[in-house]
A and B are shown apart, each in its own frame.
Chain A
C-alpha cells in the first residue's frame, strides 16, 4: 500500500515534470503552426492565446514548485541523445548552406571546427563507455524558475506586442518582403529553446538549446534581408560560434577526463568536491567564455549593436528575456565554481571593464536603440562581474539585476519602438517634448528609465549589493571592480537623465500623437510598466521566497549571512521612498490647479529679448531667430571608437590570460 502523502508527492512530481516538458514543447508546436498561417486574424488569435498560455504556465510552475527544492527529471534517455545529435548536425548543415549562399567562409570554417569537436566528443563518449548518460537531464531550481518567469512573461508579452508592431512595420517598409509566418515561427522557437536551456541539467542538452538560440537570433537579425541585416546576422553568428566552439570543447574535456559520465550534468559539475575542483574549473572557464560571447561582453559587443537592424521587438527579446540572458545565465550557474578563483576574477574584470566603458559609450549615442543596446551591454557586464566574483552576495545581486533589467529594458525597447513608428525617428534629439505629444508613452519611458538607474527602484538595490560584494571580494582586484562600478554609475546617471530631460523638455502645445497606437501594443506596455513597479515593490518578497532558498542550496549560504543582504532599516526607508515617488506625481494633479491660479506664466529668459515661442526669439530689427536646444554628447572624451578600442584591448588581454590559465591547468 502506498501512503497517501507519497502519492501526492508522486503526483506533484509528475505534474511538474509535465509542466517543464509542456513549456518546452508547447511554444515549439505553436511555432510550427504559425509557420503555416498567413491570415492576420488567425495569427493574432493564436499568438495571443499561446502567449497567455505560456505566461500562465510559468506562473503555475512558480506556484506549484514554491517551497520545493531543486528536483531532477528524465533519466536514461539514450534515444533523445541520438535525436539531439542528429538535429545538431542538421543545424550545422543548414548554416553551411547559408554560408555558401552568402559567401561567408570564416563562419563556415568555425562551423566545421565546431562540428569536428562535436564528433570527437561523440566518439569519446562511445569509446569510453559513456554512451549511456547517467543522472537527470531535466531539472528545475529557484534560479531556473526565475529565468522561466522572465522568458514566459516578458518573452510572450513581446510576442503579443510584435503582432501590432510588425503590421505597421511592413506598412512603413513596403520594400521588405512580408515573412511574418517565419518571423513568429522564430519567436516561439526562441522561447522554446530558452525554456529548454534553463531546464537542462545535462550539458549536452543545454548545448543543443544554446545552439538553437544562436541560430534563431541570427535568422531574426537577418529578417529584413537587406545587406546590412545579413551582414550583422552573420556577425552575430560568427561571434557566437566562437563561444559554441569553447562550449563544445568543455564537453570534450569532461568526457575525456571525468571519472564518470555524471559529470556532464550541471548539478554534479558545479558541486564537485575540492578534489575534483580542477575538473569543474576548466569547463566552467570554457563555458563562461561562451557566456561572454553570448552576453555581448567586450570584445564581442559588436554583434549586439549590429543586431539593432532587426525590428524593435526582436531587440527587446534579445536584450531582455532571451539570448544575452542565456549568456549570463550559464556564468551565474558556474559562480560556485568560479568563486575565489583566479579565472573567476578575470571574468569579473571583463565584466567590470565592459560595464564602465559601455556606459561611457552610451553617453555619446543619440540613437535611442543604440543607447539602449550599450546600456544592456553595460548591465550584463555588471552581472558577469558579480558571477565572476561568485560569492553568494554577488550572485544575489546578479540575479536581481537580471530580473530588474529584463522588465525595465523590455519596456524601454517597446516604448522606443512605438515612438519610432509615431514620430518616424529613433533619434533622442527628436523626442523633445514627447511628454506633450505622447504623454502616456513618455511616462512609461520615464518609469522604465527610473527603473534602470534611480533610487529606490530595483537597479539601485542590486548595485548596492554588488558594491558590498566587490569590497569583500579577493583583494586588491575587488577594489578595481569597485572603481569600475563607481565610475560607471556616475556615467549611467548622466546619459539617462539627459534623455529624461529631453522627454520632459517643455514644448508648445501640440496635438496628441498617441491615438493611432494599436491596442495590443498598449496592453503590453501597460502590463510591463506594471511589472516594473511590481518588482520594485516586491523585491524583498522575491529575495525571501526564491533567491535565499536558492543561495542556501546552491551556494551553501548560511541564514545569518543572508540576513545581511537586506537591512531591515534600509528596507523600510526604500519602501517609504518608493511610496513617496508614487504619491508625488499624484499630488501634481492636485497642485496644478492651485498653481495655475496663483502663478503668472512668463516667457523664458533670453537675455531680455522677446521669446514668443520655445523655438525662437526676437532678434535685432524684429527678425525671429530660430533657437534649438540639444544635449551634450561629450564625444571628444567618450568617443565610441576610442572607448571600444580601449575596451577591446583590455578585455582581449584578459581573455588571453583566461585561456593561458586554462591551458596551464590542463597541462
Chain B
C-alpha cells in the first residue's frame, strides 16, 4: 500500500458520511416521491444526526455506549481498509466484528425488543456472510488477488464473468442496507412490529453514532458494487446509482418477510447463483 492509497483510506473518514448522507437524503426524497409525498430536504439525514447529538443523554445501561462506539470505530476501520485498497477478506471479517459489537450492544440492554432485534440481526448476518465471502472468492478467482487495488487494476469488467455472484451480492445488499423485504432487525420505516428492533434502546447521541456508522457502511457497500464495474469509473458510478435506485424500488414495492424465508432464500441464492458462477469460472 503506498501513501496515496493510505490517504484515500484516511479521506474516507470525512467523505464517507458526507457522501453517505447525501445518498440517504436522495433515497428519502425518491422514496417519498414513489409514495406520492414531497419528502424531506436532501440534507435531512445531517439535520437528523445533528439533532440526535443535542438530545438528552439517557441509557438503560452505560456500557451500551461502549459497544456502539466500538461498532462505529470498526465500521470506519473496515471502510478505511477497503478504500485504501486492502484485503477484501480482512474487510469482510472486520465488518462482521463491527456487527458483533452492535449486536452485543443490543443484547446488553436486555430489552425485549432489542433482544429480538439482536437475534434477527444475527440471523441476517448468518444469511449474508456466505454470499459476501463468495463475492470476494469470485473476484480472487478472476483477478488472482483479494486486494482491492489489484481487483481495480484488473482491467476487464468483472460483471461479465461474475454475473451470478453480482446478482447474489445484490440480494444480500438488501439486508445490509436494511431495506424491505429484509429489514427484519430494524427498519428505516416507522411501521415496525418490533418498535425499532435492534436499536430500540439506543437514544440521543448513542443513536446518532449508530446512524453515522450506517452512513459509513452504506458507502462502503456501494464500493463493493463499484468493484464489479471498476474498470471504467463512469460505468462504475452509473452502476452504483442504478443499483441503489433498484434497491429503493424493491424497498417500496415489497413487504417485510419473516426470518425463515429470508435466511433460506439467501442461502439458496448463495449456493445456486454464487456456487454455480464460481464453478463455471473453472469450466470457461
Contact = CB atoms under 8 A, between A and B. Distances in A.
B112 A606 contact: yes
Contact of B108 (A505, A577, A580): A505
A604 B201 contact: yes
Contact of B200 (A454, A573, A605, A631): A605
A511 interface: no
Contacts of B227: none
A168 B110 CA distance: 33
B62 interface: yes
B218 to A, nearest CB: 21
Interface in A591-642: 591-592, 595-596, 598-607, 614, 627, 629, 631-632, 634, 636-637
A147 B56 CA distance: 56
Interface residues of B, number: 71
Contacts of A489: 129-130, 133
B113 interface: yes
Interface string A168-196: 00000000000000000000000000000
Contacts of B94: 455-456, 577
A483 interface: yes
Contacts of B59: 595, 599-602
Q: Which of B111, B126, B203, B264 has the most CB of A within 10 A?
A: B126
Contact of B66 (A485, A494, A591, A602): A591
A479 B146 CA distance: 16
B162 interface: no
Interface string B98-116: 0010011011111111110
B239 interface: no
A606 to B, nearest CB: 7
Contacts of A570: 86-87, 90
A506 B115 CA distance: 11
A490 B130 contact: yes
A394 to B, nearest CB: 15
A493 B57 contact: no
Given A475-B282, A483-B271, A632-B119, A506 B60 contact: yes
B282 A483 contact: no
A32 interface: no
B134 A501 contact: no
Instruction: Please indicate which of the listed interface residues A480, A506, A588 has the most CB atoms of chain B within 10 Å of its own CB.
Output: A506
Contact of B275 (A479, A592, A606): A479
A500 interface: yes
Interface string A564-601: 00010110011001001000100010011001101111
A240 to B, nearest CB: 34
A567 B271 CA distance: 30
Interface in A450-498: 454-456, 460, 463-464, 467-468, 471, 475-476, 479-480, 482-483, 485-487, 489-491, 493-494, 497-498
A574 B90 contact: yes
Contact of B60 (A482, A490, A494, A603): A603
Among B106, B122, B260, B274, which residue has the most Cβ atoms of chain A within 10 A? B122
A467 B137 contact: yes
B93 A455 contact: yes
Interface in A522-578: 567, 569-570, 573-574, 577
Name which of A454, A479, A602 has the most chain B CB atoms within 10 A of its CB: A479
Contact of A479 (B110, B126, B278): B278
A482 B137 contact: yes
A490 B97 contact: no
B200 A464 contact: no
Interface on chain B toward A: helix, strand, loop, or mixed SS?
Answer: helix
B250 interface: no
Given A490-B125, A493-B96, A599 B119 contact: no
A258 B250 CA distance: 67
B173 interface: no
B81 interface: yes
A471 B137 contact: yes
Given A464-B93, A479-B282, A574-B90, A507 B110 contact: yes
A438 to B, nearest CB: 16
A607 B195 CA distance: 9
Contacts of B65: 591, 595, 599
A95 interface: no
A583 B60 CA distance: 24
A652 interface: no
B230 to A, nearest CB: 20
B216 interface: no
Contact of A602 (B60, B110, B115, B267): B60
A598 B206 CA distance: 13
A504 interface: yes
A584 B119 CA distance: 25
A448 to B, nearest CB: 15
B14 interface: no
B73 interface: yes
B187 interface: no
Which of B70, B119, B131 has the most chain A CB within a 10 Å cutoff? B119
Highest count of chain A CB atoms <10 Å: which of B129, B201, B274: B129
Interface string B246-279: 0000000000000010011001001100110011
A475 B267 CA distance: 22
Contact of B134 (A482, A569, A591, A600): A482
Contact of A497 (B100, B110, B267, B275): B100
B97 A501 contact: no
B219 interface: no
Contacts of B271: 483, 487
Contact of A460 (B73, B93, B131): B93
Given A464-B93, A605-B201, A493 B122 contact: yes
A627 B112 CA distance: 9
A614 B112 CA distance: 10
B104 A501 contact: yes
B56 A600 contact: yes
A497 B58 CA distance: 26
Contacts of B275: 479-480, 483
Interface in B139-196: 140-141, 146-147, 195
A486 B134 contact: yes
Given A455-B96, A493-B96, A637 B123 contact: no
Nearest to A360: B126
A639 to B, nearest CB: 14
A566 to B, nearest CB: 11
A621 to B, nearest CB: 21
B11 interface: no
Nearest to B149: A569
A606 B107 CA distance: 15
A540 to B, nearest CB: 15
B127 interface: yes
A318 B125 CA distance: 32
B104 A455 contact: no
A40 to B, nearest CB: 41
Interface string A502-530: 10111100000000000000000000000
Contacts of A631: 119
A552 B201 CA distance: 54
Contacts of B137: 467, 471, 482, 486
B227 to A, nearest CB: 17
B63 interface: yes
B89 A501 contact: no
Contact of B260 (A482, A577, A604, A637): A637
B104 to A, nearest CB: 5
5 contacts: A476-B279, A489-B129, A493-B122, A601-B58, A602-B58
Given A482-B278, A494-B125, A497-B125, 19 more contacts: A463-B93, A467-B137, A482-B134, A483-B275, A485-B133, A490-B125, A493-B129, A502-B107, A505-B108, A567-B147, A569-B86, A573-B81, A600-B57, A602-B58, A604-B110, A607-B195, A614-B110, A631-B119, A637-B264
Top 10 A-B pairs ranked by shortest CB distance?
A501-B107, A490-B129, A455-B93, A604-B111, A486-B130, A475-B282, A486-B133, A506-B110, A490-B126, A476-B279
